[in-house]
Chain A
Amino acid sequence: MAKSGTFSNLHDWLISEDFTSSRQARLHSVYLGWRSLIANPLAFAGFAIVLLLIIVAALAPVIAVHDPFAQDFLKALQAPSAAHWFGTDEFGRDVFSRLVYGARTTLYITILVTIIVAPIGFVIGATAGYLGGWVDVVLMRITDIFLSFPSLVLALAFSAALGPGIENAVIAIALTVWPPIARLARAETLTFRHADFVIAAELQGAGTGRILLRHIVPLCAPSIIVRLTLNMSSIILTAAGLGFLGLGAQPPMAEWGAMAASGRQYLLDAWWLTTVPGIAILTVSLAFNLLGDGLRDIMDPRNG
């Protein structure tokens, strides 16, 4: 193997353990993590599919061969063909193009929910774990109350009250996703609560906020990132379920769950309408599960 000089130098620099800077040490661990991720074929497949989802969502106007909203009743319910790879729906819209735009909806919901729940779950959990006492009792009681509802049912109730729509679906899903994050953050915080470095920081006069942000966050981050990745799969399934029941994204927006739902009326004549979006949901949700499992092996082996 004739590797080019710069690459092998970079490789040597990255795997060398004689660190000359903290930047090198950090890049070293990222590089080793990356190497073990690509060594695990299932995790790498998950990573590749997630990457593909992001690319498809970003380049949707380029990839989609037809306008996803253009209706043409003469072309309604056509079977898959060279012109329409996944056929057309009841309004004559190209299913492939709607699938491509649906990737945007899915990614939008997943990212937004994750951005909302990560800080909320962390702040609630870490505060409860760090401060203890009645703060802990009250915060964990609230968490348990939310946990006691099956998540889709709770999301249904909130979206029913807020009204259908993608933003409301995001809020409804976020309300059901934060409790497990808070529980995890609390459990992680408890393991560091009485560590010497935390006490040292306290003695130096660091406030609660500073200790949580500078000392606890970095240590909780790996397991929370793993949990968030695995959660993305259930966010996708819940969002699709809401869409299926007509509570998520509203027409004419392309959303996979809603696409599968509208296909049910034409199930016998047009199998592709329901089947294709369902396979897309399954693939993406599976990918996040595989990636999450792989990340856990690398970042959080304790909980494997």
Chain B
Amino acid sequence: MSITQTSDAPPSRKSPFPKAAAKIATSFVVILTTLLGLMMITFTVGRMVPADPVIAVIGDQADQATYDRVYKEMGLDRPIYVQFGNYLSDVVHLDFGQSIITKQAVSKDLARVFPATIELATLATIIGAGLGIPLGVVAAVRKGTWVDHLARVVGLLGYSTPIFWLGTVVILVFYAYLGAIPPGGRVYLYDEGIVQARTNFILIDSALGGHWNVFWSAVHHIIAPAVILGYASMAYLSRMTRSFMLEQLRHEYILTARAKGLGQRPIIWRHAFRNIRVQLLTVIALAYCGLLDGTVLIETVFAWPGLGSYLTSALFFADMNAVLGSVLLIGIISIAINLLSDIVYRFIDPRTR
């Protein structure tokens, strides 16, 4: 790569950037193989289904000649690696086949439902990070006090609670008994179709269009699922923040800062916390990917019209194209988020160059 290099010295001594670029290039290769592996898994899963894919297309009333013709058309008589190649080219062209339920291209369905999931997961991450990180910092600083124990209990409960059950209980209490939240959905029925879809994020679209009643309707609907998901990521983030902070507070530079007479607040936020920001970024990315898991269940509970609801209803009707399309999309998003945090990590933290 670095042809200009003439001496034997490692490139990092001269300029850190070619090495950083090489590392990013390597991680792109890694990403490509991961994507390939991802598709290999979804392809294999698609082949494991006992249902005959030809029958799914032509129905069970067709004659043998039609069956043979379609069998050939679908490329099922070709060797398996050719079939995998065809699958790859379909995926690259964003062709995941047709959904049995909606009778539409799966890619079109995904484009419709995905923003709802991103909206929910993003809000949940904001809630989780906004509460979890300060909680973790305080727990580390006041290690062994009641705040620390509270953080520990919150964390353990967050790890152990079945999220679909928590959602159901919240509906029972806050909808059925208190009437404080709607039972599910994204906006009230009478608010539907008012807002012009620009970004497909209903909170942004309604605010842009000035439809404030729709905006509040959407807030009303998103708050319960977002808080529940946010709680799950708060549990994780507070625990990780706590252990990162404890690690930093042990260092000698903290002792030096104390000896210089620096106050507690600048030591914590300007010294220790500054040093864990990069690690936190990675953990937040992981928490976000974990939320994609949680949304599948919570969307089902709250009838949230996102990827999770789409995936579960596809499961019920054995709509394999839709299932595999959704699973692949979630896998790709996870990889993309991790890649992004990796790149940002390399640019923020000079030690990794």
On A, residues with C-beta under 8 Å from B are 141-142, 144-146, 148-154, 156-158, 160-163, 233, 237, 240-241, 244-247, 257, 260-261, 263-264, 267-268, 271, 274-275, 277-278, 281-282, 285-286, 289-290, 293
Query: Is A245 touching B330 in the complex (CB atoms < 8 A)?
Result: no
CB-based nearest A residue for B329:
A153
Query: Is B156 touching A289 in the complex (CB atoms < 8 A)?
Result: yes
Q: Which residues of B contact A160 (CB under 8 A)?
A: 45, 49, 315, 318, 320, 323
Distance to closest chain A CB from B244 (angstroms): 14
Beyond contacts A241-B296, A264-B168: 12 other A-B pairs, Cβ-Cβ < 8 A, are A150-B292, A150-B293, A153-B330, A241-B164, A244-B164, A246-B315, A257-B162, A261-B164, A278-B162, A285-B162, A286-B156, A290-B156
State the CA gap A158–B33 with chains docked (Å): 21
From A161, A162, A290, give the contact of B46 (CB < 8 A).
A161
Instruction: Indicate whether A153 sits within 8 Å of B296 (C-beta atoms), given known contacts A274-B168, A282-B165, A285-B160.
Output: yes
Query: Is B315 touching A241 in the complex (CB atoms < 8 A)?
Result: no
Query: Is A149 touching B297 in the complex (CB atoms < 8 A)?
Result: no
Distance to closest chain A CB from B270 (angstroms): 28
State the CA gap A61–B318 with chains docked (Å): 36
Any A CB within 8 A of the CB of B118? no
Instruction: Indicate whether A151 sits within 8 Å of B169 (C-beta atoms), given known contacts A156-B311, A163-B50.
Output: no
Query: Is A267 touching B168 in the complex (CB atoms < 8 A)?
Result: yes
State the CA gap A223–B114 with chains docked (Å): 39
State the CA gap A158–B46 with chains docked (Å): 9
On B, residues with C-beta under 8 Å from A are 30, 33-34, 37-38, 41-42, 45-46, 48-50, 156-157, 159-166, 168-169, 171-172, 176, 289-290, 292-293, 296-297, 300-301, 311-312, 315-316, 318, 320, 323-324, 327, 330-331, 334-335, 338
State the CA gap A295–B169 with chains docked (Å): 32
Query: Is B160 touching A153 in the complex (CB atoms < 8 A)?
Result: no
CB-based nearest A residue for B157:
A286
Query: Is A153 touching B162 in the complex (CB atoms < 8 A)?
Result: no
Instruction: Indicate whether A157 sits within 8 Å of B45 (C-beta atoms), given known contacts A149-B331, A245-B300.
Output: yes
Q: Which residues of A contact B171 (CB under 8 A)?
A: 267
Query: Is B296 touching A274 in the complex (CB atoms < 8 A)?
Result: no
Query: Is B330 touching A149 in the complex (CB atoms < 8 A)?
Result: yes
Query: Is B293 touching A153 in the complex (CB atoms < 8 A)?
Result: yes
From B156, B176, B292, B335, give the contact of A153 (CB < 8 A).
B292
Distance to closest chain B CB from A15 (angstroms): 28
State the CA gap A267–B170 with chains docked (Å): 11
Query: Is B176 touching A267 in the complex (CB atoms < 8 A)?
Result: yes
State the CA gap A245–B297 with chains docked (Å): 8
Distance to closest chain B CB from A171 (angstroms): 11
The 5 A-B residue pairs with the shortest CB-CB distance, nearest first, are A278-B165, A145-B37, A150-B293, A286-B160, A285-B160
Q: Which residues of B contact A240 (CB under 8 A)?
A: 162, 164-165
Q: Which residues of B contact A146 (CB under 8 A)?
A: 41
Q: Which residues of B contact A281 (CB under 8 A)?
A: 162, 165
State the CA gap A289–B235 with chains docked (Å): 13
Q: Which residues of A contact B312 (CB under 8 A)?
A: 245
Query: Is A152 touching B293 in the complex (CB atoms < 8 A)?
Result: yes
State the CA gap A278–B91 with chains docked (Å): 39
Query: Is B320 touching A150 in the complex (CB atoms < 8 A)?
Result: no
Distance to closest chain B CB from A166 (angstroms): 17
Chain A CB count within 10 A is highest, among B38, B171, B292, B293, for B293
Query: Is A145 touching B159 in the complex (CB atoms < 8 A)?
Result: no
Q: Which residues of A contact B316 (CB under 8 A)?
A: 246
Instruction: Indicate whether A241 sits within 8 Å of B297 (C-beta atoms), given known contacts A142-B37, A157-B42.
Output: yes
CB-based nearest A residue for B291:
A150
Q: Which residues of B contact A148 (CB under 8 A)?
A: 34, 38, 331, 334-335, 338
From B157, B162, B172, give the contact of A271 (CB < 8 A).
B172
CB-based nearest B residue for A163:
B50
State the CA gap A275–B161 with chains docked (Å): 12
Distance to closest chain A CB from B58 (angstroms): 22
Q: Which residues of B contact A286 (CB under 8 A)?
A: 156-157, 160
Query: Is B176 touching A150 in the complex (CB atoms < 8 A)?
Result: no
Q: Which residues of B contact A154 (CB under 8 A)?
A: 41, 327
Distance to closest chain B CB from A97 (angstroms): 20
Query: Is A274 touching B330 in the complex (CB atoms < 8 A)?
Result: no
Q: Which residues of B contact A282 (CB under 8 A)?
A: 157, 160-162, 165
Query: Is A157 touching B296 in the complex (CB atoms < 8 A)?
Result: no
Query: Is A153 touching B297 in the complex (CB atoms < 8 A)?
Result: no
CB-based nearest A residue for B39:
A145
State the CA gap A271–B175 with chains docked (Å): 13
CB-based nearest A residue for B47:
A161
State the CA gap A66–B36 with chains docked (Å): 53
